[in-house]
């Protein structure tokens, strides 16, 4: 008799756990990442200009009131640059732009944006459109990959991979 009771209770317990997890799930978050595929510690300065939910927004944040935000990029790590409540591929427009300046830790630390512009040696600068991000996916690599060959960057893809 006890075994029969267990056969009824086990599926009910599993169903209860499943239903509870369904009721408490939060809305998914979709993020665009920068991915450092080198062994060096780098920094990414970035600016996202996009039309999202029919409002044009310019993201202009940073600790020194400059035009760009910054993100530390440790080796083999992909920090979030920007997150959305829906898949970016569903709403990105060709005119949307993500600009990313990638530089060494030593070039970045202790400098303001104006000092960086005047003296820093950027490893790479990406000017990615909504179409570029759609093509790459949400994980933007450094150094650039073959799929990025025709995208707007300084130095060019050919110079960067030498």
Q: Please give the pLDDT value at position 104.
A: 93
Q: Please give the pLDDT value at position 54.
A: 47
Average pLDDT rounded to a whole number, residues 41-53 = 78
Indicate the pLDDT class of residue 8, thresholds 50, 70 and 90: low
Tell me if 21 is assigned to some domain. Answer: no
Tell me if 73 is assigned to some domain. Answer: yes
> Are the CB atoms for 67 and 123 separated by under 8 Å?
no
Phi, psi of 31 (to 5 degrees): -120, 150
Q: Please give the pLDDT value at position 24.
A: 53
Q: Please give the pLDDT value at position 60.
A: 41
Element (H, E) at 7: helix 2-23
Q: Please give the pLDDT value at position 89.
A: 75
Q: Please give the pLDDT value at position 70.
A: 79
Tell me if 93 is assigned to some domain. Answer: yes
Tell me if 151 is assigned to some domain. Answer: yes
Total of domains in the chain = 1
Q: Please give the pLDDT value at position 56.
A: 42
pTM of the model: 0.73
> What's the pLDDT tens digit per position in 83-131?
777 887 777 888 888 889 999 999 888 887 778 877 778 999 999 998 9
Average pLDDT rounded to a whole number, residues 26-45 = 87
Reduced to 3 states (helix: H, G, I; strand: E, B; else coil), residue 13 is helix
Q: What is the rounded average pLDDT for all residues in the chain?
A: 77
Average pLDDT rounded to a whole number, residues 62-83 = 71
Full domain range(s) for residue 100: 28-160
For residues 155 and 50, give the distance between their C-alpha atoms in angstroms, rounded to a whole number: 24
Q: Which of 8-17, 31-40, 42-51, 127-136 has the lowest mean pLDDT?
A: 8-17
Q: What angle do CA 42, 80, 57 make, to 5 degrees?
A: 110
Nearby residues of 48 by Cβ (< 8 Å), 6 or more positions away: 59, 81, 82, 96, 97, 98
Tell me if 132 is assigned to some domain. Answer: yes
């Amino acid at each position: 008799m006890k075994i029969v009771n267990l056969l009824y209770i086990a599926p009910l317990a599993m169903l209860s756990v499943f239903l509870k997890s369904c009721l408490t799930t939060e809305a998914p978050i979709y993020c665009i990442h920068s991915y450092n595929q080198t062994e060096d510690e780098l920094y990414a300065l970035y600016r996202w200009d996009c039309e999202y939910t029919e409002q044009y927004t310019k993201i202009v944040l940073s600790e020194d009131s400059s035009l760009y935000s910054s993100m530390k990029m440790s080796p083999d790590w992909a920090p979030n640059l920007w997150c959305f409540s829906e898949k970016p591929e569903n709403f990105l427009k060709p005119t949307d732009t993500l600009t990313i300046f990638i530089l060494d830790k030593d070039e970045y630390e202790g400098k303001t944006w104006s000092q960086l512009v005047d003296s820093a040696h950027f490893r790479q600068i990406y000017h990615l459109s909504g179409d570029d991000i759609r093509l790459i996916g949400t994980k933007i690599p450094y150094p650039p990959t073959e799929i990025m060959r025709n995208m707007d960057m300084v130095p060019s893809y050919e110079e960067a991979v030498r």
